[in-house]
Chains A and B, each alone.
Chain A
Amino acid sequence: MGTSPAGVAGVQMRGFERLPWRRIILVVLGIAIVLVVGIGAWKTLALPAAEGGYSAAAWRDFVVEGVSQGGIFAMIALGYSLVYGILRMINFAHGEVFMAGAFGSYFFADAYAGSGFLNRSPVIALLIITGVAIAVSVGTAALLERLAYRPLRHAPRLVPLITAIGASLFLQNVFRGFFGPQPYGYPKPQLLTGGTTILSVPITRVQLLVIVVAVLSMVALQLFVARTTTGRSMRAVAQDSEIASLMGINVDRVIVITFVIGGILAGIAGVLFSLTFGQVQFTMGFRPGIAAFTAAVLGGIGSISGAALGGFLIGLLRAVGPPLILTGYGIPSVFSIRDAFVFLVLVLVLVFRPGGLLGSGEAEKV
């Protein structure tokens, strides 16, 4: 420790040093990963059912589950992506915006379940619940922007990121302080229990609802950004906020609108997530937040279609990847490490293709 490796390299080391080490390491790493994944998948698929292999029906269920959860991730990912596109900052606290919506809606859902309203007119009840979730999420996102991020609009990039981490911690603990650390059981209307079959694929009603709502809201967002004046000013600010403001666009307003849209999507996602998993807790935003962020990066951060694609991909990878790759190696309870799997994907995407699938493929400079 403490000796300087700089400037003391001998002449004979020069040739050794000129080798493109980074590239070599990456290629070796890449080959190793392909091998590990390939062998694992092959071994898993060759495994007979009696020794822990999965049937075709099981794989189908994994895929359906993955697509459905992917829809939720995609909706959260859009929040990251929109904000990143406009402010070039990672809104680390977006997972908490999602949690806030889910938590806020819980109290209405619980009250409606208690009074029977949830089962008498489930559609109206769910609409109101979702409205509440959206309101809470949007409020949280707007407050966050106003109090924490706006004063730092022109600070170096790491400053808002650290602020966002602080805000995330703060928001979690606010909800813990308000409502306590325990998880709350989230009621589900009878309409959404049970399953159905589409094109001979069995699917639970909640999963169906999640996929439909996710697709619809993403189409709506795409139309909004592509067709409306506000959407056009959002795109303008994303390209160059200074020029946009010279063209008469109110940049502050556009930024607030971006946070609001992210909040709306997060609120809807919060309800869908709570219906899927049946509980809310103050820590619930962290892991889905990271998964969604991974999705946004995977698709190419800043792009709407990228976030959508990335969301569904991450959902699928998370549901299918661990059993497919890890079971073959005889690793027990593969689902307990599916979050580690997501983080691994995040690391690999950033290392190999930081621009994302739909991005430029180059690490951003500065």
Chain B
Amino acid sequence: MTDVRSWIRVGIIAGFVTIFLALVGLIGRFVDLNLVGEQVTFARLVLIAAPLVAGYVVTRPRIQAGERRALAPRDAIVAGAVSGATAGFVFGIAVVAADAFGIDRIRSVFLNVSEPLIDFVTFGQPPVVGAVILTAVSAIAGGLAAGLRVTPIVARRPITTAVSTILVLGFLQRIIPIALDQLGLERDWLYSRSIGGLTWLGAIAVGAAAAGLSVLNARKGRELRARLFSAGEEKTGVAPAQLVLVLVLVAVLVAVPWVVGEVISQVLGTVLIYVLLGIGLNIVVGYAGLLDLGYVFFFAVGAYSTALLTGAALNTFTGSGPPAVSLDLNFYLAIPIVLLIAAGAGLLIGAPVLRLRGDYLALVTLGLGEMVTVLIRSPWLVPLVGGPNGMRGVSDAAIAGFGFRETQHFYYLALGFVLLAVFVSWRLSASRIGRAWTAMREDEQTAEAMGVNTTRFKLLAFAMGGAIGSLGGSMFAVQIGSLTPASFEVQVSILVLGLVILGGLGSLPGVVVGSLVLVGLPGLLREFEEYRGLAYGAALVAVMILRPQGLVPNVRRSRELQEEERAQDEWAQEKEVEVAAVEGMAT
């Protein structure tokens, strides 16, 4: 039975994944993080996550002799259970072995292995009994996941919607209650004050509501969408329903900071800054296909030149002093100058590296970004940018005394610039320039042969991308009012690149979604702060392997990718099939 062997193999891998999760601390540190009641905790979820995935994976339909063959429901559940049980068994053995070897000895190397962790994963029983329970629990988890996969879609969709809604609300337990309090709504029925998470009553209500909406969406959704979006196509005028939609969107955007309260507004402000950075980098990487790993360069240029132009002071040990070069301009006069400086810097670094392609270009830009990081820290430039101590007293961009430093005000300023950048970027991509970029990205030689002056369009991409990115830097300077080199590390470059790629290269909605996921979520889930890097890294690798077009792909590009996607589906189902070449990113 080759089938059984593959179930067990997946189970073994899942077991090692659980061991890994435990060693990284994702189980032991979150034993008390309740999501629903005191029963559903984050740690328990992590404990059964790998068996769940294993159960889901082994029941994937296979392609045999060109035919798609799904497992019969009963076989699927057995497969999932076997796989899950194997995962639990492997982890159980590891736990027993760890206990026999001595927890303290392991702890001296792996910081997260502790008595409470072992206690938790063995359900308070002796290790061997605990391992047996683990195996059983994992088998159930694997069987459940497999069962869900073979459930007809009519039932599956409401179930998954309900469960994911409950989990999302459970994760946002620090945030949503604050927002509810802000609105003066009763919240004790939904979130428990004593244990932190959702109450069971609240979870059931939310789950039922989500499932109901999901059913409604399945029945009436298409009709509704058709009425909203198709009406405008034939006539030149805008359909009334569309107008309503736009008005609602604008109203939501305007009202959001006052509805959600200060904490979320703060996060939203940061998200908007990264949206600006993402829009800029999207021009360079997504439109023109030039991989830039040193984008923090423009972030720093924008922030520091804004500071210098609006009369910020250097931080010194004794207080503060004026920088070597300083102007005291109005913020709105300074912004065009900042944009010009950044565009100029883009041209300057773009010019010598134009002939380099692909990965070499990436490394040159990485080098330039790192140079900025090192230089703004160095004692050499203390008189200009304050070195490690940084600067303070950046303008708060006030208009007639209305300052934008305050969290909820800042949101509007950033939103304004984001809308401007979105508009510019959108028009650019639809213009002759945008088409030239696309041509260049897809095939540089052909583009050149067709009369596209690639040198000029590459420089233009660097300049435009740099200018919009520097706007992100300016916003950042306004938001926090003071600058230190710690905010301008290589991580910024990688984060921005990550959000552009996650959202989908060349896609503006993708930039917004990417920022919300990579910047907004970590901002809301402060308890997972330490695991940000881990998640980014894993997400980048996973997106590149599984979904290179991103979450919200650019339409034109995704059409190009579709051929390949079909090949990828096959690969997911039949491991032997190699992933075919994924076209679309410039080589």
- What residues of chain A have their CB less than 8 Å away from a CB belonging to chain B? 1-2, 4-7, 22, 25-26, 29, 89-90, 107, 147-148, 151-163, 165-174, 176-180, 286, 290, 293-294, 297, 331-333, 336-337, 339-340, 343-344, 346-347, 350-351, 354, 363-366
- Asked, given contacts A148-B545, A158-B587, whether A166 binds B436 with beta carbons under 8 Å apart, the answer is no
* Docked pose: A159 CA to B375 CA in angstroms: 30
Please, how many angstroms separate the alpha-carbon atoms of A85 and B582 in the complex? Answer: 22
For B537, give the chain A residue with the smallest CB separation. A170
Q: Is the CB of B380 within 8 A of A337?
A: yes
CB distance from B396 to the nearest CB of A (A): 25
In chain B between 440 and 458, which residues have their CB closer than 8 angstroms to a CB of chain A? 452-453, 455-457
Bound-complex Cα distance A339 to B578 (A): 41
Partner of A161, one of B110, B291, B374, B584: B291
Q: Which of B111, B353, B540 contacts A350 (CB 8 A)?
A: B353
Q: Are B537 and A166 interface neighbours, CB within 8 A?
A: yes
A107 to B368, CA, bound (A): 36
- 6 A-B pairs within 8 Å (CB atoms) are namely A1-B467, A154-B579, A158-B359, A161-B291, A337-B375, A343-B371
Residue of B nearest to A166 (CB): B540
Stretch in contact with the other chain, from B1-9, B207-215, B301-309, B427-435:
B427-435
Report the minimal beta-carbon distance from B582 to chain A, rounded to whole angstroms: 5
Given that A2-B424, A161-B291 are known contacts, is A90 also in contact with B363, CB under 8 Å in the complex?
A: yes
Contact, CB under 8 Å: B585 / A156: yes
Residues of B close to A155: CB separation below 8 A: 544, 548, 579, 581-582
Q: Please pick, from B460, B530, B544, the residue contacting A163 in the complex, using a CB distance under 8 A.
A: B544
Evaluate whether A158 and B585 lie within 8 angstroms (CB atoms) in the complex, with A7-B432, A90-B363, A332-B380 already known. Answer: yes
Indicate if the CB atoms of B494 and A156 lie closer than 8 Å: no
Asked whether A157 and B110 contact (CB < 8 A) given A22-B351, A170-B534, the answer is no
Bound form: Cα–Cα A168–B3 in Å = 35
Within 8 Å by CB of B367, from A29, A290, A333, A363, lies A290
Given contacts A165-B540, A166-B536, 6 further A-B contacts (CB under 8 A): A6-B456, A25-B352, A154-B579, A163-B540, A297-B363, A364-B360
Residues of B within 8 A of A365 (CB): 357
| A304 CB → nearest B CB, Å | 20
Supposing A177-B24, A178-B110 touch, asked if A156 and B497 sit within 8 A by C-beta, the answer is no
Docked Cα-Cα span, A174 to B583, in Å, equals: 31
1/0 contact string of B442-480 vs chain A (CB within 8 Å): 000000000011011100100010010000000000000
Whether B370 is near chain A, meaning CB under 8 Å from some CB there, is yes
Q: In the bound complex, do residue A159 and residue B377 qualify as a contact, i.e. CB atoms below 8 Å apart?
A: no
Hey, what's the 0/1 contact readout for B120-132 against A, CB within 8 Å counting as 1? 0000000000000
Given known pairs A2-B424, A156-B583, A166-B539, the reply for A177 and B25 (CB within 8 Å) is yes
Within 8 A of A (CB), among B317-373: 339, 351-360, 362-364, 366-368, 370-371
B582 touching A5, Cβ below 8 Å:
no
- Look across to chain B and name the residue whose beta carbon is closest to the beta carbon of A162: B544
Looking at the assembled complex, report how far the CB atom of B269 sits from the nearest CB atom of chain A, in whole angstroms: 24
List CB contacts (< 8 Å) of B402-451 with chain A: 424, 427-428, 431-433, 436
Enumerate chain B interface residues (CB-CB to A < 8 A). Answer: 20, 23-25, 109-112, 291, 293, 339, 351-360, 362-364, 366-368, 370-371, 374-375, 377-380, 424, 427-428, 431-433, 436, 452-453, 455-457, 460, 464, 467, 490, 494, 497-498, 501, 530-534, 536-541, 544-545, 548, 571, 578-587
CB distance from A311 to the nearest CB of B (A): 17
Q: Is the interface of A mostly helix, strand, loop or mixed?
A: helix
Bound complex: CA of A354 vs CA of B357, how far in Å? 10
CB-CB under 8 A for A22 and B355, given A166-B536, A351-B364: yes
Docked-complex contact A178 and B112, CB < 8 angstroms: yes
Query: Cβ of A107: which chain B residues have Cβ within 8 Å of it?
Result: 109
Query: Given A158-B586, A169-B540, A173-B537, A4–B110 Cβ distance below 8 Å?
Result: no
Whether the Cβ atoms of A29 and B293 lie closer than 8 Å is no
In the bound complex, CA of A90 to CA of B363 (Å): 9
A5–B457 alpha-carbon span in the complex (Å): 9
The residue from B352, B356, B534 contacting A174, defined by CB atoms under 8 A apart? B534
> Which residue of chain A has the shortest Cβ distance to B360 in the bound complex?
A350
| Complex contact A293–B587 (CB within 8 A) | no
With A6-B457, A179-B110: A163-B531 Cβ-Cβ less than 8 Å: no
CA A179 – CA B436 in complex, angstroms?
49
List, in ascending order, chain A residues with CB within 8 A of B356's CB: 350-351, 354, 363
| Chain A residues whose CB sits within 8 angstroms of the CB of B584 once the complex forms | 156
Given the known interface contacts A158-B587, A169-B536, the answer about A178 and B24 at a Cβ–Cβ threshold of 8 Å is yes
Tell me, in angstroms, the Cα distance from A239 to B20 when the chains sit together. 39
| Distance between A133 CB and nearest chain B CB, rounded to angstroms | 15
Task: Tell me which of A166, A167, A293, A339 has the highest count of chain B C-beta atoms within 10 A of its own C-beta.
Answer: A166
> CB within 8 A of B352: which of A294, A343, A351?
A351
Which listed residue (B353, B432, B585, B586) contacts A351, Cβ 8 A?
Answer: B353
Q: How far is the CB of A33 from chain B (nearest CB, A)?
A: 11
The 3 closest A-B pairs by CB, nearest first: A166-B540, A170-B537, A169-B537
CB atoms of A173 and B501 under 8 A apart: no
Contact flag A290-B366 (CB < 8 Å), given A155-B582, A179-B111: yes
Q: Is the CB of B379 within 8 A of A173?
A: no
Indicate if the CB atoms of B587 and A157 lie closer than 8 Å. Answer: yes
**Contact at A339–B581, with CB atoms within 8 Å?**
no
Which A residues lie within 8 Å of B452 (CB)? 6
Q: How far is the CB of A154 from chain B (nearest CB, A)?
A: 4
Contact yes or no, B587 A340, CB < 8 A: no
Quick one: closest A residue to B433, CB to CB? Answer: A4
Hey, which chain A residues are within 8 Å of B362, CB to CB? 90, 158, 161
Measured CA separation A336–B586 after assembly (Å): 37
Inter-chain contacts of A166 with B (CB < 8 A) = 498, 536-541, 544
Across the interface, A152 reaches (CB within 8 A) one of B371, B460, B531, B545, namely B545
A50-B324 Cα distance, complex, nearest whole Å: 28
**Chain A residues within 8 Å of B456, by CB:** 5-6
Determine the distance from Cα of A178 to Cα of B112 in the docked complex, in whole angstroms.
7
Q: A25-B351, A165-B497 are in contact. Are A340 and B374 (CB under 8 A)?
A: yes
Contact, CB under 8 Å: A2 / B380 = no
Rounded to whole angstroms, the CA-CA distance of A12 and B377 in the bound complex is 47
Distance in angstroms between the alpha carbons of A177 and B360 in the assembled complex: 32
